[in-house]
Amino acid sequence: MECSDTVGKSLAQNLCKKLEHFADAKSIPSNLIFSMDHALAEYLQNLVDHSDAHHANVAFEYDDASLRVIIKDDGKPYDILAHKPVDLRVPFAEREIGGLGIHMIKKMLDHVTYESSNGWNTAVFIKNTRSS
Amino acid sequence: MTPFKHLASGDNCEIIVDRRIDGETANQLEIELISMEKTAFNTIYINLAACNFICSAGLRVILQYHRKFKMAKRKLLISRLSPEADQILELTGFKESLVESV
């Protein structure tokens, strides 16, 4: 299933609803959707807040092996895989406030890829059906 | 006016969050906590028993106001948790410092 939207305030809400409909139609287990819903919402909100993107296209795929979401946007490239990880060993009172969204994406998914070419950025999110 | 219910008991007040904490709800939660700063409650609890989604913006609001309340020698803590909220707080390292049973 593929869908697209202009990048604006409601982007994350709109496309997470599409994920919900896709999950209902495919009877996808709730633990997979829980993780993918959070990861997708965080990534799309970053696009809205920081990328200057105008368009985002999202494709949802599901089979016995995994749930996959492919997100393409025409904004400024930002490789989330290169982002400095949140250090949970730092005492809570001194913890940096930023970076939690990307931390959640990486922790909640089994595999993430990112590439940028010809003015389009592509992130692929994978949650394996056998993961907890 | 925010969409949250409250349960006040002595020096404590519990804010009931019965919906997703997405970007919009995170803003509403911040407004709620700003108004709580003006009250005399010593401890503010956020009840997440019916909340199954917390975005990073919501976590940032909770962390920011946890620090503000602490500086004022007051407390902002999480009371009840849904299994989903529990998972989010655990993987972001918030649980140990914020969760206390009412």
Q: What is the pLDDT of residues B80-90, one digit of tens each?
A: 999 999 999 99
> What stretch of H or E contains B71?
helix B56-71
- Note whether B56 contacts A34, CB cutoff 8 Å: no
- Across the interface, whether the CB atoms of B92 and A86 are under 8 A apart is answered yes
Residues of B in contact with A86 (CB under 8 A): 92-93
**Touching check for B55 and chain A: CB below 8 Å?**
yes
pLDDT tens, residue by residue, B51-78: 999 999 999 999 999 999 999 999 999 9
CA angle at residue A29 from A25 to A32, to 5 degrees? 110
pLDDT attached to residue A123: 97
Tell me the whole-structure pTM to 2 decimals.
0.89
**Collapsed DSSP state (helix, strand, coil) of residue B7:** strand
Kindly state the tokens that stand for A107.
């922790």
Smallest Cα–Cα separation from B58: which of B93, B85, B35, B30? B30
DSSP helix/strand/coil, A125: strand
Q: Give the residue on A whose Cα is nearest the Cα of B98.
A: A92
- Cβ-defined contact of B96 to A100 (cutoff 8 Å): no
